[in-house]
Amino acid sequence: MPETESGAAAAREGASDAGAVELWKRWLEGGRKARATSDAERERAFKYVKGGEAQLEQFKNAGWEGHKVVANYLYPTHKVLLPHLVPRHPRGLMTATPATTPEVRESISVLEEKVAYDWREGHYLRECRKAVNETLMGGLGWVRASWDKERQIPELKHVKPTMILVDPEAAEELSEAGWVAQQVTMRVADIRADPFFENVEKLKPETFGTGYEKADDTSLTRFQKESLSTVRVWFIWSRRGEGKPNAPSDQDQEEALGDNVLLCYAEGHDFWLHKSPWPLSFDHDEFPFRCLRFNYDPDKFHAYGPMQPALAIQEFLNWQVSFLVQHTKKGACVKIVYDKGMVTQEQLARIFNGVDFEAVAVDFIDGKEPFKIVSLESDPTKLEGTIQIAKQMLFDITGAAELIMGGQGKTQSASEAQIRERRAQNRIEDMSDQVKDFLIDINRAISMIEILKTPARSSGDDRGIDFFLGDAAIGPWEKLKKLDPQRMRAEVMFDIDAGTMRRPTREQQLQDLFGLWDRLAPMYAQTGRWQDLQRLVARVILALELPDPQELIPAEMGPLGASPEQQAQEQQAMAQQQAQAQQVAVQEQMAAQQKDQAIQAAFQQMQAAIEQVRGEAGQGVMAARSEIQAMLQGFQTALQSLPPPAPGANIVSQGPLSMEAQQAQVASPVVNAQIAQMTTAAERVDMVAEVVNVPAPVAEPVPSVTEQVVERDVLGRIARVVSRTEPAQGPAQELPLADESI
């Protein structure tokens, strides 16, 4: 009797599960219909991204004949936008709120280090790049966060948009959906070997083939059928329970499972492979999925991608370029028109197919030419102009105009260039900010999984936080695990380092590296610890993925990868070099001092010699001046005894002299010779006096001998002497004298 009751209960349970599975099939079909439009648009866009698979479907039913050209401008647009949106090495930041206690602050630092480790080991960035790529073309990019039992770290996997369905009742946000379902193709053998699944004995191996060989092939054994067969399994994360009718017999089970239920079934079957509460409970009953959208559709959950608005222009460009090619081909044709009455078919064949220089006789009627070449000329300028307009429209719609064209175009000023560059980056920065929010959401989910799944201490095969970060992280991790998800959200603020979102150019990386070298090299040069700077620069070069580090590190730093013994030898050799350099510097300093002393002594000796020469020369000058004064006095005495000049004598004027002076000058050649001798002597004396800097007497200044002899002084005295000795010759013309002391 009990067996009968249990069998009846199992039958009722099976019937109830079958009804629930059928209900979920209808719900999934509704989600598929809601996604149909987005799938079609995504497929159209991906044809161009795939390059060679871009099929011109608009030509198939249009009756177009001729050349069909794919003017694929979406592909370069996609490839230009993608590198600007995917970060190279995003670094997650976790900061505590002002009200957080110091113990929790330390725990948050440990969590930040663990999540950074997960990003490196789990290759999360690769999955995020796939999601960004999907979002650019299809409008939605999906990833799913879960727990990797083998590596015992959180797992992040990209999910294709065609493999996921969302509750059609979700208007804009994922939080409004009642369920999310993911389709996974699995081998039947793997399902039967996984203890996660139930009722595996009911699976039909021949339900679906592998794609290479059908599972229902009679030549295959049963084992081959089971190992090669695959089924499509739907994993349904429901926030509405199992979805059974509210029968009294089902209420207990509904309450046991709760609202958040994970359901699994295989297509072609009417029973559950698995049903249980969610294995991971996120804050606010969040789904384990995270989605990225650049544009929002107010009418439905599924958004449209940046490329989809340009699909119509892309297809128009395909038709337009194809029409231009066909038009150009027609214009390039050359036709030959002939008169049927003048040329026969046989003659035409001999003309076009015969040998060179063959004479073919044709008739001429009324002087007309039997042949005429006609060329159909075409002007494709207008068509090319419309193509350029369409291309510019496509680039403007996608936001890649300035990125693809490289900022071409003339600008009138630097301000205009900055404004154009800023406008070109606005849309890219907006999409980059959305990618940043997407990564922050992923970090929050990974952190929740870490707190829920990673223990503080390792035990057996279970790896704790001490396995990844050491024993020092055990205490802070235990404090962190005591926080519930809501408290965790209130205590921690998640962010992404803004400097790691946009990948810098290679030139900027090299500039930053050289700037780092300029700042650190003087400090390390003083300490002599070049090996530390070598390792630092090498790690920076490798992190930036620059060329061979050995080419960028200075030669004095030594080779990369030196052993400790080699480093010690290099340090010892460097110390010896420094000691030798210091010794050489001291010797050079002493030699410089000795040289300065020798130069100073020589300068003093030279000054003494100069003073001696000046003294001797000064004495000679004074003696010469005395001798010249004596000569002048004797000359004055001699002039007093001069006879008057003979009448008619040749008088040479030496300036504004009186007639008596001129007569006296001409009358005596001896006087002229003496004047010349005194002039030369006086010039030499004045020159020496100027060189040796002999001062003139203060009490009785000596007039310039040159002025008195050469100019007018001596001749004036001669005139006065003559005028005094010969009063009968008339009054003498007195000349102004520079000095009357002689």
Helical pair 713-725 and 659-667, crossing angle rounded to 10 deg: 100
Once rounded to an integer, what is the mean pLDDT over residues 388-392?
Answer: 80
* DSSP codes joined into one string, 284-327: GG--SEEEE-SS--TT-SS---TTGGGHHHHHHHHHHHHHHHHH
The pLDDT of residue 159 is above 90: yes
Each residue's pLDDT tens digit, 258-272: 788 999 999 888 889
Q: Please list, in sequence order, all residues whose beta carbon lies within 8 angstroms of the beta carbon of residue 404, skipping any fewer than 6 positions away.
A: 76, 77, 80, 395
pLDDT higher for 571 or 651?
Answer: 571
Q: Mean pLDDT for the chain?
A: 71
Q: What is the mean pLDDT of residues 489-501?
A: 74
For 133-155, what is the mean pLDDT?
Answer: 89
Is it the case that residue 723 has pLDDT exceeding 70?
Answer: no
pLDDT above 90: percentage of residues in the chain: 8
Please give the angle made by the CA atoms of 406, 407 and 409, to the nearest 5 degrees.
Answer: 120
pLDDT digits (tens, 9 = 90+) for 51-100: 655 454 444 544 455 567 777 788 888 888 888 888 777 888 888 887 77
What token pair was written down for 348? 């035409």
**Mean pLDDT across 542-558:** 55
- What's the confidence (pLDDT) of residue 657? 45
Per-residue pLDDT tens digits for 458-469 = 887 888 888 888
pLDDT of residue 45: 80
Q: Which residues contact 206 (CB under 8 A, 6 or more apart)?
A: 215, 216, 225, 229
Contact 298, 37 (CB under 8 A): no
Alpha-carbon separation of residue 281 from 259, 288, 296, 493, 569 (angstroms)? 12, 9, 28, 20, 59
Tell me the angle at which helices 414-453 and 124-138 cross, rounded to the nearest 10 degrees.
130
**Band of the pLDDT at 508, cuts 50, 70, 90?**
low
Q: Is the pLDDT of residue 480 over 70?
A: yes
Residue bearing the bigger pLDDT, 434 or 553: 434
Please tell me the predicted confidence (pLDDT) of residue 1.
Answer: 45
pLDDT tens, residue by residue, 591-626 = 888 888 888 887 788 778 777 777 777 777 677 767
Selected residue with higher pLDDT from 418 and 709: 418
Task: With a cut of 50, say whether residue 724 has pLDDT above it.
Answer: no
Tell me, what's the pLDDT at 256? 58
> 388 or 99: whose pLDDT is higher?
388
* Mean pLDDT along residues 358-375: 59
Residue 236: pLDDT band (50, 70, 90) is: very high
What is the DSSP annotation of 24-61?
HHHHHHHHHHHHHHHHHHHHHHHHHHTSTT---GGGTT
Of 184, 174, 169, 172, the closest CA to residue 30 belongs to: 169
Lowest mean pLDDT among 254-258, 426-430, 579-583: 254-258
120 or 88, which is more confident: 120
The percentage of residues in the chain with a pLDDT greater than 70, rounded to a whole number, is: 59
For range 376-403, the mean pLDDT: 72
Q: What is the pLDDT of residue 364?
A: 56
